Amino acid sequence: MNTAHRSRRLAATLLTAVLAGTGLSVAAAPAAHAAAEDAVAKLPISSYSGLAVDSVHQRIYIADQHEGQYVGTVLVYNFQGQKVTSFQHENTVSGLALSEDSTTLYVGERGRVVTYDTDTLQQNGAYGAAYDTCGRQLAFAGGTVWSTDAYVFQPYQCATASTGLDMLTNGTLSRTGWNDVGRLQLAPGARGQNRLLMGQPKESGAADPFLASFDVSGTTPVRNASRRFADTDGKGALDLKDMAANADGSKVAVADATAGTRLLNAGDLSNAPDQYQALPAGANATAVAFSGDGKYLARGAQATGSTPDLLVQSADPTDATPPLEFAFEGSLDGGSVTPRGLAWSQDGARLFAITQSAGGTEYWLHVIQPPAAQYDTRFTGDLTHSPAQAVAGEPLAVRGRLEWDGPAPAEPLKVTAVRKDATGTHQLGTATVKDDGTFTVLDEPDLVGEATYTVSFLGDLTHRPATDLTHTVTVGKAAGSIALTAPAQATMSGGVHITGTFTAHGKTLSERATLTVQRTDRLGTGTLSSVTVAADGTFTIDDLPRTRRSVTYTVSWPGDDLHTGSTASATVNVTR
């Protein structure tokens, strides 16, 4: 298991602290939820299609589309990451949208949009809509609900299907006349600004996908800005994963899997004069969200190892304060932030992140209360190992040291480790970091050859991830040994009786060893019958010598892929 560990120890005072000179502050959490922590819930879903946060009732709504099946689920969690209830639907569900006053939750189905009263969590309405088979996107803007719809016969056709834009009028979702190719994404503008954002994903096959902004203050949507991003050589086209408007509606941030985070002026979608710093090398943008109080930006990504999957920073791109960084890697956290998987509480005190496994079939909910500060960490020196000669099938200790800035952690930090050899990458679990920063990773390599160990510190709420440290070890064969006990004297008529013990260190043999026996006397050398070692490692040799004088018995084992061969001899003086 290779997983990031989160601290559960920061006091609420951290949430109210202001970093002098940095411009970063965190709003205090409600008194009932004073501790700053990252609660993680494994979600009982196999797909993900929507996220909505109700700050009035402190609930999180998560849609499980169940694509390809005729059932769907909406999960309801509270702000502590505990499941409250779920809404079961007989049809596939997709997008979610919440009214600005948080009184109504809208849930997209194939042929309609269903509504729920957020006070009672009871269904209280349904609006007919054009039939959709590709996953309806929903957004609440301009006081109404907006939806996409696309109809195809096979799911693989959705990527390039003709998708229409619908709006809620007179109790039904009717088409607006706007349409384009692909699974069009929708996002609301800033609260109260009557703006709807629409984006075209790269999978649509469009050579130059678009981003557009609509004025939705009237009875029909009016496009007031649009943009395509490719240059004259066709490079730099949009690879849209998510988009979000900032709190005052002046900017739009776009998660572009190729370009990273694009910050645009909301009015004409031109590039903002100041841009956010690039995502860490190896991280591809998947999600973006501004806090409702206007202070923070969260950026989700897909990355491996200790490369951050989530950055939380000032919404002001000119603020040079280092972002808070989180790396997700393993069976307790998920591997990356899922596309469109970020949302904030309205007061900016909590960030909600949906992470997913590498295959996109398992999902986790993270409830994060960002601290006021996060400190750097680093590995110092190189990794070492003992014993000096690593042997297949025998214990090996890999040691190192981790340093951290800021106060000493209240709970021990943990590092994770993997071993990569000719058969692939093997998870080695976690190792606890001692007060002096040292740690020991224990392993038992099971393959001869080079083994490369990579140690990671994935960070926690108050510590940034450290750059991975690697160490290559040459793993040799384990020793095999043979010990013989033979008489000094024997007779030709009485024969020779020899006992012995065979030992194979390291990994246990898959089957009992067979030993070769040779006899050398004054008449020459010949091979006797081989002997099989007993389960306890013992064996016996009985022979009738063919001549007098000195007779030498040589017992040998050739070894195998993991063990060296071994030989032992005994000489007996034979008389008549």
Buried b (16+ CB within 10 A) or exposed e, 293-306: bebbbbbbbbbebb
Summarize pLDDT for 25-38 with one digit per residue, the tens: 333 222 222 223 57
User: Do both 262 and 233 map to the same domain?
Assistant: no
User: Do both 423 and 367 map to the same domain?
Assistant: no
Summarize pLDDT for 142-181 with one digit per residue, the tens: 999 999 999 999 888 999 999 999 999 888 899 999 999 9
- Is the whole-model pTM more than 0.75? no
Q: How many domains does the chain have?
A: 4
pLDDT at 529 over 50: yes
User: Do both 432 and 535 map to the same domain?
Assistant: no
Neighbours of 141 (CB within 10 A): 27
pLDDT at 468 over 60: yes
C-alpha separations of 372 from 10, 27, 154, 262, 349 in Å: 10, 9, 49, 26, 11
Q: What is the pLDDT of residue 25?
A: 32
pLDDT at 66 over 80: no
Provide the pLDDT confidence category of residue 441 given band limits of 50, 70 and 90: very high
Q: What percent of the chain lies above the pLDDT cut of 90? A: 76
Question: What residues contact 425, with CB distance under 8 A and at least 6 apart?
Answer: 418, 419
CATH of the domain at 456: 2.60.40.10
Domain boundary among 476, 499, 526: 476
User: Do both 383 and 505 map to the same domain?
Assistant: no
User: Do both 251 and 347 map to the same domain?
Assistant: yes
Q: What is the pLDDT of residue 69?
A: 58
Q: What is the pLDDT of residue 459?
A: 85
Q: Say if residue 259 is exposed, middle or buried (CB neighbours under 10 Å; 0-12, 13-18, 19+).
A: middle
pLDDT at 364 over 80: yes
User: Do both 294 and 360 map to the same domain?
Assistant: yes
Domain boundary among 183, 215, 238: 238
Q: Which domain holds residue 527?
A: 480-575
| Cβ pair 401, 384 in contact under 8 A | no
The mean of the pLDDT values for the chain is: 89
Provide the pLDDT confidence category of residue 189 given band limits of 50, 70 and 90: very high
Beta-bridge mates of residue 78:
59
Domain boundary among 428, 444, 476: 476
Q: What percent of the chain lies above the pLDDT cut of 70? A: 93
Summarize pLDDT for 500-524 with one digit per residue, the tens: 999 999 888 989 999 999 999 999 9
User: Do both 259 and 312 map to the same domain?
Assistant: yes
User: Do both 390 and 365 map to the same domain?
Assistant: no
| Cβ pair 91, 109 in contact under 8 A | yes
Asked whether residue 450 is domain-assigned, the answer is yes
Provide the pLDDT confidence category of residue 70 given band limits of 50, 70 and 90: low
CA distance 425 to 423: 7
Could you tell me whether strands 122-128 and 195-199 are parallel, antiparallel, or unpaired per DSSP bridges?
unpaired
Beta-bridge mates of residue 249:
none
Beta-bridge mates of residue 169:
172
Considering only CA atoms, which of 230, 364, 354 is closest in space to residue 287?
Answer: 354
